[in-house]
């Protein structure tokens, strides 16, 4: 028999923005169901880089990603939400009174409004063009436990935030760290790149991986650069080439998409009357994709959808200290 739940708000995505939105909806007096395809809350932070330090959250000069998630879960618990983890949202119907969301495991959620905080939606790592057959045998796409690479010779491939961050995290742990990027310029945050250039990490730019060799696990990597090729003896390759988003479900819900993002207005409303969005998945002029921005968007969305949930609720809330 299908599980059926009737609540004020259903949040799709249990990453930082979704967890904060859950807390805030509870503060506004709403009942909440949170749906996420991953087995634990935290989104990409838990699944991909739980040990990575995070610097752009107000009030925290530096915070470990998993510690931030744990605190967000504790904060969200004040709303007493129901979590449907390991559930992929697959079907959405909307009428004048609310929305009905169905998951791949048979759960049915009836709510007055829907908030999408799904980051990049379903995501899979972009494969390394050469050497993909070594995945799980010295080639990895994420580093959930940096300590596993302690004492090893590591090659990081990529030029974005994940590549630079992992290179810096691994520098004090690994026997050596080399970072190869196909361009001279990096896409990572400027401060992180400055730290990288000042570190002991060996930089090879512009270089691309042309071959990966080894008997059972990775042993050597061939790199091709402007002046020819070079071969590195390595124990581990971290391919940080980004992720491919899967937003097929959203397209099937009749939600307008701009490439891999959802356009929203200033109230964080999508093109559907009772569907709102917040966090990295949204797009609007001047959009900045930071965790701190996602928190603000989550609060905007919850406050603007509040009158849809309960007509007596105003968009402008009171202060949280008033209800202490």
Whose CA is closest to 240, among 182, 292, 315? Answer: 182
Residue 7, both tokens: 């609540």
Vertex 229 angle, CA 228 and 233, to 5°: 160
Number of helices (H) and strands (E), helices first, in the chain? Answer: 7, 21
Q: Would the pLDDT of 48 be above 50?
A: yes
* Confidence band for 245, pLDDT divided at 50, 70 and 90: low
Burial, 201: exposed, middle or buried (Cβ in 10 Å; 0-12, 13-18, 19+)? buried
The per-residue pLDDT for range 207-241, each reduced to its tens digit, is 999 999 999 999 999 999 998 999 999 999 999 88
Determine the average pLDDT of the residues in 228-257: 85
> Which pLDDT score is estimated for 162?
85
* Confidence band for 47, pLDDT divided at 50, 70 and 90: confident
Domain boundary among 220, 239, 258: 239
Does 258 lie in the same domain as 117?
A: yes
Determine the average pLDDT of the residues in 171-176: 96
For the chain, give the mean pLDDT: 91
pTM of the model: 0.78
Residue ranges at the known binding site for FAD: 36, 44, 49, 89, 123, 280, 321
Longest dimension (CA), the chain: 70
> Which pLDDT score is estimated for 1?
43
The per-residue pLDDT for range 1-37, each reduced to its tens digit, is 467 999 999 999 999 999 999 999 999 999 999 999 8
Domain that holds residue 159: 127-239
Does 311 lie in the same domain as 182?
A: no
Does 168 lie in the same domain as 105?
A: no
Instruction: Count the Cβ atoms, other than its own, within 10 Å of residue 41.
Output: 24
Distance CA 23, CA 71 (A): 11
Does 116 lie in the same domain as 249?
A: yes
> Which pLDDT score is estimated for 69?
96
Does 119 lie in the same domain as 9?
A: yes
Residue ranges at the known binding site: 36, 44, 49, 89, 123, 280, 321
Does 132 lie in the same domain as 119?
A: no
Does 216 lie in the same domain as 147?
A: yes
- Helices of type H across the chain: 16-27, 44-47, 65-76, 161-170, 190-198, 248-252, 291-309
Does 56 lie in the same domain as 185?
A: no
Task: Write the CATH number for 214.
Answer: 3.50.50.60
The torsion angles phi and psi of 181, rounded to 5 degrees, stand at -140, 145
Domain boundary among 239, 260, 283: 239
Domain tally for the chain?
Answer: 2
The per-residue pLDDT for range 84-127, each reduced to its tens digit, is 998 989 999 999 999 999 999 999 999 999 999 986 555 677 88
> For strand 243-246 and strand 220-225, is the pairing parallel, antiparallel, or unpaired?
unpaired
Domain boundary among 239, 267, 284: 239
Does 265 lie in the same domain as 234?
A: no
Residues linked to residue 230 through DSSP beta bridges, in sequence order: 223
Does 197 lie in the same domain as 107?
A: no
Q: Would the pLDDT of 161 be above 90?
A: no
């Amino acid at each position: 028999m299908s599980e059926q739940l009737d609540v004020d708000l259903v949040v799709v995505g249990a990453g930082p923005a979704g967890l904060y939105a859950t807390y805030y909806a509870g503060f506004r007096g709403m009942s909440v169901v949170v749906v996420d395809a991953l087995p634990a809350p935290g989104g990409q932070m838990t699944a991909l880089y739980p040990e990575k330090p995070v610097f752009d959250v107000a009030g925290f000069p530096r915070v470990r990603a998993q510690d931030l998630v744990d605190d967000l879960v504790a904060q969200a618990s004040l709303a007493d939400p129901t979590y449907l983890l390991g559930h992929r949202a697959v079907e959405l119907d909307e009428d004048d009174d609310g929305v009905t969301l169905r998951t791949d495991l048979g759960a049915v959620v009836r709510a007055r409004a829907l908030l999408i905080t799904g980051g990049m939606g379903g995501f899979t790592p972009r494969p390394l063009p050469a050497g993909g057959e070594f995945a799980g045998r010295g080639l990895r796409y994420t580093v959930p436990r940096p300590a596993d690479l302690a004492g090893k010779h590591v090659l990081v491939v990529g030029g974005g935030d994940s590549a630079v961050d992992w290179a810096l995290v691994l520098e004090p742990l690994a026997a050596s760290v080399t970072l190869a990027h196909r361009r001279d310029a990096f896409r990572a945050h400027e401060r992180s790149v400055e730290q990288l250039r000042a570190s002991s990490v060996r930089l090879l730019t512009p270089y691309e991986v042309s071959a990966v060799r080894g008997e059972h696990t990775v042993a050597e990597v061939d790199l091709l650069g402007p002046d020819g090729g070079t071969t590195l003896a390595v124990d581990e390759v971290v391919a940080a080439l980004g992720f491919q988003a899967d937003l097929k479900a959203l397209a099937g819900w009749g939600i307008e998409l701009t490439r891999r993002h959802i356009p929203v207005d200033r109230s964080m409303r999508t093109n559907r009357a009772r569907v709102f969005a917040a966090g990295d998945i949204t797009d609007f002029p001047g959009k900045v994709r930071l965790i701190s921005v996602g928190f603000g968007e989550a609060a905007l969305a919850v406050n603007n959808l509040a009158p849809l949930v309960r007509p007596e609720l105003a968009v402008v809330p009171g202060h949280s200290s008033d209800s202490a």
